[in-house]
Structure 1
Amino acid sequence: MIKVAMTGVYVDDVAAAHAFYTDVLGFETRLHRDLGGGALFVAVGAPAGAQPDLQLLLEPGQGPIAQAYRGALYDAGIPCIVFSVDDLRAEYARLRALGVRFTHPPQRQGPVLAAVFDDTCGNLVQLIQSRE
């Protein structure tokens, strides 16, 4: 059986992204290694062991391929990643109170309730809640 162990998201600044994903979104730090020369290897994951074997790698997004990819997604309004929540309206209110900027509030999209926010690190992120 093959399972997803880690997936990455390109960010403008790994340290700033780490702060946002942990302090604001509530993820926990899974890996944090200083590689020297200002380079960091940082992975975060869902808190309290909700998904202990799945990590999100915060990858430097300064390379030409990463910049073009992120810019195209952002300009088109396409989220680079989707996170699920149990209560989207409550999470939307919590994040807005923390100053998170949403590009669209919770709305129905087929079988889910969805909202999209700016992660302050060059990406749009979608939150979904199953309606079933």
Structure 2
Amino acid sequence: MKITVISIPVRDQEKALHFYTEKLGFIKKKDMPLDGDNRWITLVSKDAQDGPELLLEPAPLHFEPCKVFQDSLMAAGIPWTQFDVDSVDAEYERLTKIGVEFSIKPSIFSTVKYAVFNDTCGNYIQIVENL
């Protein structure tokens, strides 16, 4: 068994696609139409294009429990997921220069440095650097 697709709930797939590709640097791998205006959109890391895919899941628009859970995590300031980076400081600097808003600036906890930003699609995302 292996991980192939991980989903992240988004309120607007087009906005999420722009944010995750243009600002974060992920690469679109799949973009197929589904029922209604929904799409099966997956992204991959530019450094691991054959690795796990990130699905931009429109669930909060169609499944109230998902929306409630997503809202609850945001209200509590809890990240939906995390992405590893080589340097939290460098990513923080790069992302703040292009307008990404951070709720937690680079901080150290035990053996990691981390920061948390708003993906503008209903989620906080944590970036982590192993020290």
TM-score for both structures, normalised by structure 2? 0.94
Residue 117 of structure 1 corresponds to: 117
Deviation at 1:35, TM superposition (A): 2.2
Distance in 2 (CA, whole Å) between partners of 1:80 and 1:51 is 22
Which shifted more, 65-74 or 115-124? 65-74
Percent identical across equivalent pairs?
36
Distance in 1 (CA, whole Å) between partners of 2:107 and 2:38 is 39
Residue 101 of structure 1 corresponds to: 101
Residue 74 of structure 2 corresponds to: 74
The reply on whether 1:8 has 2:7 as its aligned counterpart is yes
Please give the per-residue CA displacement for 1:104-130, whole angstroms capped at 9, x wherever unaligned: 100001210000000000000000000
Q: Which amino acid aligns with 2:78?
A: I
Q: Which amino acid aligns with 1:52?
A: D
Deviation at 1:3, TM superposition (A): 1.6
The reply on whether 1:128 has 2:104 as its aligned counterpart is no
Distance in 1 (CA, whole Å) between partners of 2:49 and 2:80 is 20
Residue 51 of structure 2 corresponds to: 53
Q: Which amino acid aligns with 1:17?
A: A
C-alpha contact (below 8 Å) 2:92/2:106 kept by paired residues = yes
> What secondary structure does 2:28 align onto?
strand
Going from structure 1 to structure 2, the CA distance change for 1:112 and 1:51 (only over 3 Å counts) comes to farther
Please give the per-residue CA displacement for 1:74-120, whole angstroms capped at 9, x wherever unaligned: 11111001000001101100000010000010000121000000000
Distance in 2 (CA, whole Å) between partners of 1:22 and 1:36 is 24
Distance in 1 (CA, whole Å) between partners of 2:30 and 2:49 is 15
Distance in 2 (CA, whole Å) between partners of 1:126 and 1:17 is 16
> What secondary structure does 1:66 align onto?
helix
TM-score for both structures, normalised by structure 1? 0.93
Unpaired runs of 5+ in structure 1?
none
Q: Which amino acid aligns with 2:55?
A: L
